[in-house]
Structures are given as C-alpha cells and as structure tokens.
Amino acid sequence: MARNFNVAAEKLGLDEGLREVLRRPDRELTVALPVLMDDGKLKVFTGYRVQHNFSRGPCKGGIRYAPDVNLDEVRALSAWMTWKCAVVDVPFGGGKGGIICDPRTMSLGELERLTRRYTAAIMDILGPDRDVPAPDVNTNEQTMAWVMDTYSMHVRRTTTAVVTGKPLVLGGSRGRREATGRGVMLTCREALKKLGMRPENTRVVVQGAGNVGGIGAELMHREGYKIVSISDMYGAIANEKGLDIPAVMAHQKKTGRLAGFPGARELTGEAALELPCEVLVPAATENQITSKNADRIHARLIIEGANGPTTDSADAILEKKGVMIVPDILANAGGVTVSYFEWVQDRMGYFWTEQRVNTSLEQIMVKSFDDVYAMMQKYKCSMRIAAYILSIDRVASVYRLRGVFA
C-alpha cells in the first residue's frame, strides 16, 4: 500500500507536506482491558483503535479479534479504509480497531465482557459523528450489538448509528450481508464490458466461499457466468463444465466444507488459482498471488474480493502480461458502501427496502468503476494506481479547501 500511495502521489504532483499528513493517522488509542474470566481470574487484554483520517467525515472501519493483532497492522488497515471510502466517495474517513485475543478459546460471556470493556475504554472517540465501527475478523452482528448497547447505556439513549453490521432488528440494513459479494459481481460486470467479454462466455475461478466469495459466486452464477472452481480453507473443487453454485453452497452449509460435492474433482486452493479461466476472484486472504505463481495465472481479469490478495511483485508481472486487475479498494467496497447506507438509515430512522439498497449500491459501484477507469486512461497506469490517484486526490482536495487549523 505504501508503494501504491507513493506512486499515486507522485503522479498527482502532491507536495511533500500533504503527503506526510495523509500518511500519518490522525489519532491512535491503545487501551488495557481487564476482563473477569469464567474461572474467576482477571486477565488483561490489549486493544487498539486507529483513526487514520476524519477530514471527510466520521471514521469507518471494522474491529478484529485475533492473537496476531498489532498496532502496525491496525494502522495500515485504517489507511486502507480511508482510500476505500474515498474511491466510492462516501463521506467517511478510515478507522480500524483490534484486540489481541484468541476468540476460539473464549466463551460467549468472556467475549461479551471483553467487547463491553473495549467499548467503554474507547468511548471518548466513538460516536455517529466521530467513529463508526463494524464487524471484521472474528467479530459479527452480535459483537456490534454489544458495542451499540454499551455505547447507548453510557450516553443514556439508544444510538443505533454508532456501529454498522448490526442485526436487522437493532437497525441493521437489508442487503448488508450480500453487499461485498454484490460489489464484486458488479465491478466484474463493468470490467467485462471494457474488455468486450460476455458473462455467458466467461469461466470464473473463485477463491473463498464466505460472504464475499460464496455470495459473489452465487450472484455471478445467476448472471450466467460459468463458475469452474471455488475453494474454502480446506481446499478447492472444480468442474470444467461449470459448478451448480447454489447446490455447492447448500452442500457446504450442510457438511461444513466444499469437499465431497458430487461431480466435482478436488484440488488444492493454490492449484485452483492456476486453472484455465477468464476471470479470477481471490476473495479469501492476503498475499495469495505472488511472484511465485503470477506467471501461471491464466485469467485476463482479476477481481480482488479480499484485501491485499496480490503482492507488489505479482502486480508487476501481471501488468506485463496485460491482465486487468480491479483492485481491492474498489472491488470489495460494496460492504462499506452499504454500511454507509445503514448509517444513513439509522440517522433518518427510516429503513429502505432491499431493492432500494441494491439499486443504490449498483449506482455507486458503477460510477466508481467508471471514475477509476477514467483515471487509468488519463494517467496511463494500472487500475490499482488509478484507484489510489482518485481516492488520494479526493482526500487531498478536502485538505486544500478546509486549510490547516492553527
């Protein structure tokens, strides 16, 4: 991300002082979280919340629970959120939070106490007009309900707009669960138009079978794409004639994994990336396409459903091969876009139909794709650099107009 920022800033002719402002987080908070465990012992966890930029509006970004959470990671992800919000032009800045813990070893009660303690510890920088968290790695709708309730108890009023990704009954938005996968499908559709390709003649390999990969694959299957492979954490399944994705997802829901689906051969997730296809959708984890396998990628188009699935060295190899990459900060921005819709609905106290959510999402994703594509043509660069140029320019423009308070 640092390289992409520097290349984009150079093309924009951004002065060094403004570059330094945009590189650094506006605010960082580290908190100690004493929690009473089920065995009666007190354990102290470490939590972080980084607000990278709030010049365009409240900070927006998830909270993750994992043993390997660290401040550098949270900083980087908060910056990523700034550029992601700016590229789809929603009025948020980037934020990110995390707690160093292993939620797999903790009871529901311990997780609730940890979440409430964390929320209370960062209360001073939270709020619908300050910072609006969302679910991330190992957090979910229930976690957000605890955050919302804790915040509401402290301010003495129910404040649903303090988080997004909540259950519907607590002010969540229809269409939120499918939003990131839908954004992947929409950006793929727009990219195919530019390449002169049609869905019915397009073979797709999807890495990941969760809310991004699985839902994205189902939506693409519905649009007529031939999904020839999909993978989960255990491995991949493939059928060159195309998989029945609704049946695949039903099998996964029933058995807990894709393996064993009738009529499909099994292979490793790494091998699946190298299958013959026109479109590759890495929608699992970071650093999946590297200098070691980039030469063996057959796809003409890569839609990054995951954050950071392609390394810088792989980027250069794929660019030389003429592969179009729709970068993560655009391709997977459907989730933050519908999070914005949820925040708007909570503040209005009026909730939209799923059709309105999906129509509004489509409008924003299509316009954002067109904006990035126009930047790519203007600066004669990759889609990734174009997305950074667009987002950095939007944030930098706000600084120029507002000036520096002294």
Q: Which residues are catalytic?
A: 96
The closest alpha carbon to 251, from 267, 263, 269, 239, belongs to 263
CB atoms closer than 10 angstroms to residue 262: 8
Sign of the four-CA dihedral 214, 216, 219, 221: negative
Q: Is 142 exposed, middle or buried (0-12, 13-18, 19+ CB in 10 A)?
A: middle
Do 59 and 92 touch, CB atoms closer than 8 A?
A: yes
Angstrom CA distances, 335 to 165, 196, 338, 358, 386, stand at 9, 27, 5, 11, 21
**Token pair for 261:** 């689906």
Do the beta carbons of residue 280 and residue 214 sit within 8 Å? no
CA distances from 90 to 253, 266, 343, 365 (A): 34, 41, 11, 11
Is residue 30 helix, strand or coil? strand
Cα(208)–Cα(230) distance, integer angstroms: 7
CA gap 186, 321 in Å, rounded: 24
Residue from 56, 49, 48 nearest 22 by CA: 56
